Structures are given as structure tokens and as C-alpha cells.
Structure 1
Amino acid sequence: MQIKQQKSFLGQPRGLSTLFFTELWERFSYYGMRAILLYYIIAKISDGGLGMNHSIGLAIVSIYSSMVYLSSILGGFLSDRILGAWRTVFIGGILIMFGHIVLALPFGQPALFVSIALIVMGTGMLKPNVSEMVGSLYSLNDPRRDAGFSIFIFGINFGAFIAPLLVGQVAKTFNYHIGFLLAAIGMFVGLIVFRIDSRKNLSKATYYPTDPLQPEDIRPLIFKSTYGIVAVILVIILMSLYDSLNLKSIILLLSVLAVMVPVIYFIKMLTSRKTTREERSRVRAYIPLFLAAMLFWSIEEQGAAVLALFAHDQVQLPGWLNATWFQSLNPMFIMLYTPIFALLWIKLGKRQPKTPTKFGIGLLFAGASFLVMALPGLLFGTSNLFSPIWLIMSWALVEVAELLISPVGLSATTKLAPRAFRSQMMSMWFLSDAAASAINAQIVQYYAINTEVQYFSLVGGITIIAGLLLLTQIKKISNAMVGID
């Protein structure tokens, strides 16, 4: 359902303004919190931190990212079947805000885990449904549609750009808790914008589920939920009996879960009677793209973990430069590169590379971004402090990879989805990030100053080899896509 708009926002439906600013402030709160999270976890208690060791801090940040993307499946279900998009987004924003407020209170490790749980649930409810609401502003043939999404994505990146600059500086000037409070205020502003503007600017259809639960659906849902809860309790009991109920084991368990979920989805789609032979071929073609996306996200998501630690411990920073500010490089390069890539694809038209080719080249850039990070330690020794230029070059390379993989992969996901699994296939794209971050939660624990050259070289080298292998399979994958470019 499309709304008739008398007023416009940059030539777009007025509702885009509501969603633009809601998501801008949500991303401000998310990336602001994430910019200082690792530093808060590993800082000494006397310096206002939690005093945890570096390896477990890196693992916590990684599994946090994984669970955020994994929870998007639950957010989509709640919106489609129970609450509707508007209520799901609003409740999600409230959970995010309270998650940041909990971290703003000096309650130590318990507050950290309560906060992460609230933000994971809230982001999973808000983020995918805001994007879906943007689509609802337009008819399928509306010529403003692509431009509207471009404006929306700019808002996401602008919020992500300013967050580390402001939240990081507040945390440095005052303390971490004030920094987390600023992130909470950002989400509060987003909620106010959404609450006031949405009623007059968004479709009434967003207040209702698109596929509401029927009475006959409720009992099976209760049984499935009960089985899940019982399974979790049994796992906890078993871990306790074997004296394995500790943070590292819980992170490992969550990592296995995040990797297994997409595996189950693929098996379900490939074996379903609802999937035609042609669609099955397309799903098989999607698998190498999914694995390539996982490798890319694995490197990209380490910006808030391994690269953040490198910036903190091994970069020679002038007094005015805050280590958190490097987190703004990601959205900054995205905003710089996006118009260049948009013009490039328009200019090339039908001559532009096929989807698997873009993925393969993207992996080469992603792997190169880590090989660059191996060079300073290899050339000068890891006991020295290095120029910030190494981090800048690394982010400049990996963001080229993002524009070759992320928007292209999202488009390919919609094209290759079996008709009976269109919504679930969209979840698969988020699951590639969830699985990648889950794997990160295990491998980042091997990163340290004395292993950094080997770490960057190995991860970067594996990614480049995978990119080269993918480029040798272009024809095979393209044929399996059955008419989809």
C-alpha cells in the first residue's frame, strides 16, 4: 500500500524523512556504542573499564555482532506474523535505548551482558523492518525507488560516521559510561522522530502484520518455542555438569548456532518440494556467493575488533587523535565510493562484470586490506608504534570490496530466491554476516601483538586464494544461475 504524499523530502515520499532520521540515529547509537565497547571491556578497572583480557574482549565484540544479525530472523517473524512493522521497530528502539542506558550505569560485567542482550534483540527487531518500510513507500515501478534507497543508505552511513567521532571523544573526555549514555540519547532522538512523524507520513499498513498468525498456527508455535527453551536449558545443565559453563564455552556454543542456522536454511530450500529444479540450481549457485560473503564480512567486521585493538595499542597517535575515530573510516569511504561505483555501473551497462566476478574481485581487495596490515610489523617489527596511514590504506581497500559485494549480494539474493522462500532467502544475507562474525569470535582470540604478522597474512592470504578460486568458477556459477546475471 502506497501513501499519497502532498509534501516531499528531497523529491521523495515524506515518509522517507521519518525513516531516514530514525535509522540515522539508530546507527549513531549502535556504532557509537561499538566504537568504545572493546576499549571499555579491556580497560583496567582503575581506568573505568572491566579489566578483561584482550582475547576474550575481541571474542565478545565479535559474537555480539553475530547475534545482532542472527536476531534479524526473529525480528522479521515478529513483524510479519504478530506485531506489524511499526510496533516491531518502535519496541526494538526502546530495547536498544535501554540497552545503552544499562551500560551507562556502573554495574560492571553483569550490566555488559544485560546490555548486549537488549541491544541484540532491539536491533534485530528494528533494522530489517525499517528497510522493509522504506520499500513500502513506493510502488514497484516508481522511478524514485532506487534514489530513495540511496538517500536512506546515506543516512545510515552518516550516522555511522559521526558516532565514533562524538561518542569516542565524550568517552575520552569524561568516561565510558557517559559515552554509552550519549549513544542512548541518540536512540531516544530516533524514537521521538519515529513516534511523531510516522503517524502522518507512513502507511497504515505498517501497523499490521502482513501474514498474521491464525488460530491453528498458535499451538504449533507454542510447542516449537517450548522445545527450544527446553533444549537451551538442557544444554546449560550439561555444560554445568561437565564444568564448562563459562564465557568461552558460551561464546563457542553461540558461534556453532550462528553457523548451523544458514546450513539448515540451505538444506531446507534444496530439499523442499516447493523448490523447482531451476530454483534448486540457483540456490546451489548462491552457495559459493554466500561463502564468499562470509569471508568478506569476516574481514570487514574485524574493524571494530582486531583493527580497533591495533589502533589502540600500536598506532602512534597525536594528542588530538582518538583511536575510536578510525571507526569512522568505514562509512566515510562508503560515502566517497558510492557515487563513483554508481556511475561506473551505469557507464558499463550490460558490459559490467557478472555477479560472481564482482564477488571474486571483492575478495581480492578484502584480502589485500589485511595483507597491508601485515606489512608494518613485518618491515619494522611489532614492538614499534606505526603510522595511522596503514589503517587508512586497509579501510580504503576493504570498502572497495564492500561496494563490490554488499549491494551486489543483496540484489543477487532477491534474484536467486525460490518463490516459496523469498522472505527467508532475504534473511540469508544477514546470516552471512552472522556466521562470519561467529567464526571471528573464535579466530580473533589468536590475535596478539606477537602473532599479528602471521594473523593478518593468513586471514588475508586465505581470502585472496578464495577470490582467485571463485574467479575460475565464473562460467559454472553463471550457468547454474539459469538466466540471472
Structure 2
Amino acid sequence: MASSLTKTPAGDPGTAAFFGHPRGLATLFMTEMWERFSFYGMRALLVLYLTAQVADGGLAMKAVTATALYSVYNATVYLLALPGGWFGDRVWGPRKTVAIAGGVIMAGHFLLAVPVEASFFVGLVFIAVGSGLLKANISTMVGHLYDGPQDPRRDGGFTIFYMGINIGAFLAPLTIGTVGQEVNWHLGFAMAGVGMGLGLLQFLIGTRHLSAKSSMVPSPLSAEERTAAARKVVIGVAAAALFYGTLTLTSIFTIDWVLWPLSIAGIVLPGLYFARIRRDKEVTPDEQKKMSGYIWFFIAAAIFWMIFDQSGSTMTVFAADSTSSTLFGLNFPESWFQSLNPLYVMAFAPVIAAIWLKLGRRNPSTTVKFAMGLVGIGTSFAVMMLAMAAASGGERVTPLWLATVYLIQTIAELCLSPVGLSVSTKLAPEKYAGQVMGLWFLAVTAGNCVAAITQLVVGDEVVGSTAYFGTQGALAVIAGIAFLVYRRKVIRLMGDVH
């Protein structure tokens, strides 16, 4: 793609070449598009495959186990973005880390394509690890293409880059989902592997157009640090192998021995990070005050993602069990519902951005936008409660119910998610600027882990019921109203940040 759009010299990322942007943006755009294509394609099939009967080629898991596994898996991907960023900063550099990550992800998808249960779960681990390595570093390389934060093309470049994410996420369920459900599950997973392979090939061919900064290791480990890090990894892996090996040999092991520890860790880890920052004497009192304000945003975001990320779990189960797969005479597989959110994002993101710009000084504050996002996501589950009630007695409801839910969730996402990234950079102490961005991703982890624990505790009879959707929806709406009521307190803690 890049070579067809420009004749600028190779290795000159500062020269406009791709829609007025550095030539390397085409490489990163296509790499991310194909990576997201592979990830969202696999994700669209995951719960459907886990819950499908053995006779239909699935694993015949209970819905509660499958949805909890999905939530924990989603949480783990964002959790691993932290060590992924660390590898880019201290071991391999962003460029090498992304290349290795692409290979690991591709291998993971092809492991899913092997019709052996053990291979499937090993493949999920590969994809989670590779996604964590890639997620933190590819965005960094986009930033490297520009002449510092003040480059006027920078925001536009990230907008184009994120469009690639949504294009990949939109196309994946329509193609991989269709093949996986209508032809063969494992062939669908193999298609995801081919998609990541195309992304990796694009990256390796176009890597010469990236900034030289992307090949550098910003803060390389010393020999002593490298030895200490390797020792900790070996000890950790050995301890885990011993623990789970013992469980397996004594026939005690079940999937719950994985789901519960990871769910608890995903909630505890953010707390430890906040405690570390608060204990650090190098963080000024003003920065400590701002971090106290940031906790409000973190908790709000965790509640938001707890509901939003169930699009691929409880809502997919509802699509498979209780929703008609015919609309206006067109029959389609349930995985297609997963394309609605990226489609809505591409359609409405420019509209929402234009509205904020048009409002000018009347533009809602960050706290109000967060409150709007929480109320919106809670409202979406109120609609899900009504849809579930309409489907009582075994009735299959119109797909317009889920189309409406996804629309409400997307509008809520556009209110909360972009400003969440922004407020994270503004409230972070100088010493912890990068790590607070990691904390923002941990809000996704914490929310998904709370969802997983909730699903495991309430059980199969409650998960996906009207009470389940109604309770969580009410919690989010109440949290949004509380955020709005106490916004002046939060604003005071934010200090000079607006």
C-alpha cells in the first residue's frame, strides 16, 4: 500500500507520503488493521465455540464458564500490555517487539485451528501474550513518526491509525465469523492466523519506512537488571508449573483454578499501583491530590468496561439463544453482531467530535462526559433487560434489540473512552506518566475481572437473566449520577486540569 502512494525516500518518516502523513503510517495502519482483524475475528467466535455442543464441533462449556473465561481472557490481554510496554522500553525496542509479537499472535491463531482442546488453550495464551506485546508498542511507533507532540499532523495521524482498528474489527466478524460458524470453527480460527500473517508481512516489508527511534531501546537493562529479571521470570514460571502440575496430577484441576486467581489479580494489581504512587515521596502533594481525583475516573471506567466488554460474552449468548438471525429476509450468523460497534464508531465518532467542537465553551467537562458514559452504558443494559423479558418463554426477538443496545453502548463509549485517555495523561505525576497510561488499561482489566467474578458467583441460572442485566445497568446509572453529583469535589482534586 505504501509504495503505491508515494515516491518519497525510504527511511524518511518526516516526509508527507500517506494522506499527507509520514510514509510509515501506512505500514502501521495496515499492521494494526490486520492484527485487529485477527483478534476480533477470533473473539467473535470464542464464546460461540466454547458453548457449542461437541456434536457441532464445540467444547460444550456451560454459558457461565464460557462468559467468565471470555472476560478473564479479555482482561489478561490488557493486563499484559504493561509488561509488553516494558519489553519495548527496556529489552527489544518497539520495532523488534512488534515483529516478535506478530509472530507469536499468528502462531496462537494457528494453534486454535488445531482440533485439539489442549492446543486451543495454549493458542489463547499465545494470542494474549502477543497482543500485550504489540498493543503497547505499535502506538508508540505512530508517535515516533512525528516531530514531537506539537507536530500539527500528529492527532490526524492517530485518527487514521485508529480508523484501521475499526476497519479490521468491522470486517472480521463478517468474514471469520461466517466461515467459523457456517463452515468449520477451526477454519475460522485459521483465517485469523492468515490475517495476522498478512499484517506481519506488511510490517516486515514496510519497516524501513519507520522512524529510527522505533529501533532504539529507550532505557536498556543493565547486565545485573537483565539477570535479575530473568531469575524472577524463571522462578515465576517454575512456581506456576509446579502448582498447576500438582493440581493436574492429583486430578483436582478445573478451569476455575485459572479463572479465579487471574480475576482476583486483575482487581488487586491496580490497587497496588495506586498504593505505590501514594507512598512515593518523590510525588508532590499536588500530584498526589490529582491522583486522588484520578481514582474516581478509574473506578468509573472499570464499571463502564465491566458492561461494555460483555458484548462478546453474555450478549453473544443472547444473540445465539434468543435472537432471530433473520432481518429483512437476510439470514446471517450471530457473530455478525460484533461488527456493529466498529461500524457505529466509524459513523458517529466524527459526529460526536463535531458536536463537542460546535458547543465551544459549553462543551461538557470531563466529569460530565464520564457521567454521560456511565448512564449511557447502564441504559444499554436496561434495554437488554427488556429484550430478555421479551425473549421469555423461548421466543426469539428481533435483531433490532441488539442493534439498539450496541448503538447506545457506542455513543456511551465515545463520551467516555477518548476523554479517559486524555485525563490519564493530564493527571499523571511526572515520574509515572507512562505507568498511569498503563493504569488506564488496567481499568479495562479490573472491569472484566469484576464481570468474571460476578458470573462465577451468581451461576448459570442468573447470568444473562433479566435480573442480571437490570442489576448491572442500575449500578452503572447510579454510578453515573453519583459522579455527576460529586463532580465539584473531583474537579477540586484535579487542580489546574480541566
Q: Does the pair score TM above 0.5?
A: yes
Match of 2:258 among 235, 246, 250: 250
Distance in 2, matches of 1:214 and 1:167, equals: 44
* 1:227 CA displacement: 5.1
User: Do 1:74 and 1:125's aligned partners in 2 also have CA atoms closer than 8 Å?
Assistant: yes
Could you list the per-position Cα deviations for residues 316-340 of structure 1 after superposition, in whole angstroms to 9, with x for gaps in the alignment?
1226211000000111111111101
Contact 2:30 2:202 in 1 (8 A): yes
Give yes or no for contact 2:79–2:442 (8 Å, CA) kept in 1. Answer: yes
| Candidates 274, 292, 300, aligned match of 1:292 | 300
Letter in 2 for 1:471: L
Q: 1:377 aligns with which of 378, 385, 388?
A: 388
Aligned to 1:442: 453
Q: What is the CA–CA distance in structure 1 between the aligned matches of 2:250 and 2:266, rounded to whole Å?
A: 23
CA-atom RMSD in angstroms: 1.9
- Tell me whether 1:392 sits opposite 2:403 in the alignment: yes
Report the residue type matching 1:93 in the other structure.
Answer: G
Residue 53 of structure 1 corresponds to 62
Structure 1 contact 370–394 (Cα < 8 Å) conserved: yes
Counterpart in the other structure of 2:37: 28
Kept after mapping to 1: 8 A contact 2:75/2:445 = yes
Decide whether aligned partners of structure 1 residues 467 and 449 sit closer, same or farther in structure 2, where only a CA change above 3 A counts.
same
Q: Return the alpha-carbon distance in structure 2 between the equivalents of residues 392 and 399 of structure 1.
A: 11
For 1:449 and 1:160, locate their aligned partners in 2 and report how far apart those are by CA, in whole Å.
31
Query: Would you say 1:95 and 2:136 are equivalent positions?
Result: no
Aligned length: 482
What pairs with 1:9-408 in structure 2 (closer than 5 Å)? 9-107=18-116, 109-138=117-146, 139-199=148-208, 201-226=209-234, 228-229=236-237, 232=240, 236=244, 245-318=253-326, 320-379=331-390, 381-408=392-419
Shift of 1:5: 4.1
Residue 427 of structure 1: aligned partner: 438
Confirm or deny that 1:413 pairs with 2:424. yes
Q: What per-residue deviation string (whole Å, max 9, x for no partner) do you get for residues 309-364 of structure 1?
A: 00000001226211000000111111111101111222223431221111111100
Paired residue type of 2:306: S
**Displacement of 1:180:** 0.6
- Alpha-carbon separation, structure 2, partners of 1:456 and 1:180: 30
Quick one: distance in 2 between partners of 1:440 and 1:332? Answer: 25
One-letter identity of the residue aligned with 2:174: L
Please identify, of 137-146 and 296-305, the stretch whose mean Cα deviation from structure 2 is larger.
137-146
Secondary structure, in 3 states, of the residue corresponding to 1:24? helix
* Distance change in 2, residues 1:115/1:340 (3 Å): same
Gaps of 5+ in 2: 1-10
- Sort the Cα spacing of 1:188 and 1:237 in 2 relative to 1 into closer, same or farther, 3 A: closer
**Cα distance in 2, alignment partners of residues 407 and 462 from structure 1:** 22
Question: How far apart are 1:111 and its partner, in Å?
Answer: 1.6
TM-score by length of structure 2 reads 0.93
Partner deviation per Cα, 1:141-197 (whole Å, 9 max, x = no partner): 111111111111111001000000001111233100110111111100000110001
Structure 1 regions of 5+ residues with no counterpart? none
In 2 relative to 1, CA 167–233 (structure 1 residues): closer, same or farther, beyond 3 Å?
A: closer
Residue of structure 2 in register with 1:484 after alignment: 497
SS state at 1:273 partner: coil
Amino acid at match of 2:427: L
